[in-house]
Structure 1
Amino acid sequence: MSERPSILPTENAFEDFKKQCLATENWLNKYDNNGMQVWIEVPENRGNNSPKVHKIKCKMTIKDVSAATMYDVIHDGQYRKNWDPNMLESYDIARLSDNADVGYYSWSCPKPIKNRDVVTLRSWRVMGDEYIIINFSVKHPKYPPQGHLVRAVSLLTGYFIKPTGLNSCTFIYLSQADPKGSLPKWVVNKASQVLAPRVMKCVHKAGQNYPAWKQQNSPDLKPWLYPEKSNLPMMDPAELSIQRADSLQNVDESSKKDALESEDSS
C-alpha cells in the first residue's frame, strides 16, 4: 500500500505561487494608486466550473523598507498584535518542519456579520534574494470550528517579496479565500478589492516601525530564520488534512450584506 503524499508544499508549489504573483495574463487591474495595485484573476471560461471566489493580488512598491524586514514582519506573530487592526486572536500551534508550521487566526468582520477564523498550514522559502510565504487551510483534530465564529477557508494565500535595493522592495500579496457563510459572492469579491489596499498600508507602516520594536522585543528570536530557536512542539504533518470549503456548514448571513456594502462606500 503506497503512503499518502505529504501535505507539505513541494518546491513546485513555491514556483507556481511565484509565477502567479508575477503573471499579468488573465489578471484584471481594479486599483492603481500611489505605488499600490490590486488585480483580480479572470479565469479562462470554464462555465459552471469557474471559481465563485476571486483570486486577488495586491502589489506594493516599498521605497523605505528592506525585503528582509518585510519578511520578518509577516512572520512575527508577537508583532502582529501591534499592526493588525482586524485580528482577534492569533497563535502558532506546532512546527511541522524547519520551514512549516500550523497556526490559528481569527478576525473581526463588519457588524452584524459574524467574525471568522482559520487554521492554516504555513510554509516558507528564501530562494536567492526572494522571499516566499504560502498558506492554506487544514483540519486540525484539536481545533474544530467554534459556534461563535464562522470557519473560513484559505484555498491559497501568500506573499512574494523581492528587493529592489538595500532598503526597498516589491511586496506582493495573493489570496484566494472563501469566507463561508452565505454572503453573496459578489459582495465578498467587492469587499476584498476595497479592503486589500487598507491592509497593505497597515503592513507597510508595520515594516517601517518593526526594526525599532524588534530591538526591544527578543531581537535574536527569529525562528523562521533559525528553526533551532523555535519553542513550538513538533507535530507530524500526517495528522493534518486539507480543509475543503464544501465540508463546512454555511451560516445564513444573506440579510447582512448591507454591512459590507456600507464598508465599500466608506
Structure 2
Amino acid sequence: MSEKKLVEVGKVHIPEDSDFRRFKSMCEDSDGWKLEVSKNQTMVWTKANDLSNFKMVKVRTVFEDLDAATVYDVLHDPVFRKVWDRTMLEGKEICAINPNNDIGYYAIRAPGPLKNRDFVTQRSWLDCGFEKIIFNHSVNHAARPMKKGTIRGISFLTGYYIVKLDMNKTQLTYVSQSDPKGNLPAWAVNKLTHIFAPKVINRIYKAAKTYKAWKAKNRPEFKPWLFPEQMMSELPRFNPDDIVSNEMLAASSDSLEEEEEGACKESDLKDEDY
C-alpha cells in the first residue's frame, strides 16, 4: 500500500471516491508483487507489508461465462453465502452505517487442530456499472466481543474489484491484507496462498452459476446492496458509541487470549481441509 493507509483498523471510515480509486489501483498495480501461482486463468501474487508477518495476497481470474452483476450479487448476499461458503460458521450484519456501508460479523471454521477465527468488519461498496468494488476492514463492535475458543483475526484491508469485460465475461480481483493471528507456521501460510486462495475463487464461480436459480426462490426482490432503502429499514442504525477502541478491546480480552494448542504439523492438514 502507499505510505498513507486507506483505512485504519478499529475506526469507522466512510470512503470517498478517492478511496475506492486507491483500492482499484492496489488491485491493478504490480509493484512489489511476487507471482506465486499461474494456472488456467487464475493468478496469485503475494507481497510483504509492514503491518503483519502474514503477506498480502492478490488473486485475479476471468470468468468467461458470468456477468459482473451476478458476481457482485454473490459476493454481497449474506444468506446465499451460507449455501456456498463451507468455511463459514456464522455470518450476520450488525448495523447499517449508510446506504453503502455496514458492519458485520463473520466466523470461519478452521481445519483442526487450528482454532476457528472470527472477524468484525466495516464493509464498504461502490457500483459504477462496468466496475464494482467491495472492501472491508476490522472494527470493534460492542455487539460482538471476543469469545473463548475463537481467535479474533484482523482485516487491515480486504476486498474485491469486479470488472465487466463483455456481456458474460467478468474479471475478478481479490486482495487481502489481513492477519489471522494465532501460531500459523510458515508451511500453513504457504498452503493458504497456493491452495486455499484459488479454491475460494473456484467456489465463487460455482456459486455464481447457481445464484440466479437460487435467488428466484429466496426473496428475489430483496437486494439491499442495490436498493439501500431495504437495508436501512431492516438493520439497526449505526451508533458510534458501540465502537470499542483497540485499547479497550485488548484490556477486556486479556483473559481470552487464544493460542493454538501444541505444534501443528503439516501432516495434520490435508489439501481438502483448506
SS state at 1:235 partner? coil
**How far did residue 211 of structure 1 move?**
0.8
CA distance in structure 2 between the aligned counterparts of 1:54 and 1:205, rounded to whole angstroms: 27
> How do 1:97-136 residues align onto structure 2 when only pairs under 5 Å count?
97-136=98-137
> How do 1:131-210 residues align onto structure 2 when only pairs under 5 Å count?
131-185=132-186, 187-210=188-211
Give the alignment's Cα RMSD to 1 decimal: 2.4
Preserved contact between residue 116 and residue 151 of structure 2 (Cα < 8 Å)? yes
Structure 2 residue runs without a partner (length 5+): 1-10
Query: Normalised by the size of structure 2, how large is the TM-score?
Result: 0.85
- Report the equivalent of 1:24: 30
Structure 2 residue aligned with 1:255, among 250, 263, 267? 263
Preserved contact between residue 44 and residue 193 of structure 2 (Cα < 8 Å)? no
Q: Does 1:15 align with 2:4?
A: no
Structure 1 residue runs without a partner (length 5+): 44-48
SS state at 2:36 partner? strand
Preserved contact between residue 105 and residue 118 of structure 1 (Cα < 8 Å)? yes
The count of corresponding residues between Structure 1 and Structure 2 is: 256
**How far did residue 24 of structure 1 move?**
1.3
> How do 1:45-64 residues align onto structure 2 when only pairs under 5 Å count?
49=50, 51-64=52-65
Corresponding letter in the other structure for 2:197: A
CA distance in structure 1 between the aligned counterparts of 2:122 and 2:84, rounded to whole angstroms: 22
**How far did residue 10 of structure 1 move?**
2.9
* Change in CA separation of 1:242 and 1:194 when aligned onto 2, cut-off 3 Å: farther
Corresponding letter in the other structure for 2:194: Q
- Report the equivalent of 1:212: 213
CA distance in structure 2 between the aligned counterparts of 1:264 and 1:84, rounded to whole angstroms: 14
Corresponding letter in the other structure for 1:16: R
* Change in CA separation of 1:238 and 1:50 when aligned onto 2, cut-off 3 Å: closer
Percentage of identical aligned residues:
37
Displaced runs of 4+ in structure 1, greater than 4 A? 241-244, 259-262
- Report the equivalent of 1:80: 81
Task: Write out per-residue CA displacement over residues 159-184 of structure 1, whole angstroms, 9 at most, x where no aligned residue.
Answer: 00000111111011110111111223
Q: Does 1:41 align with 2:42?
A: no
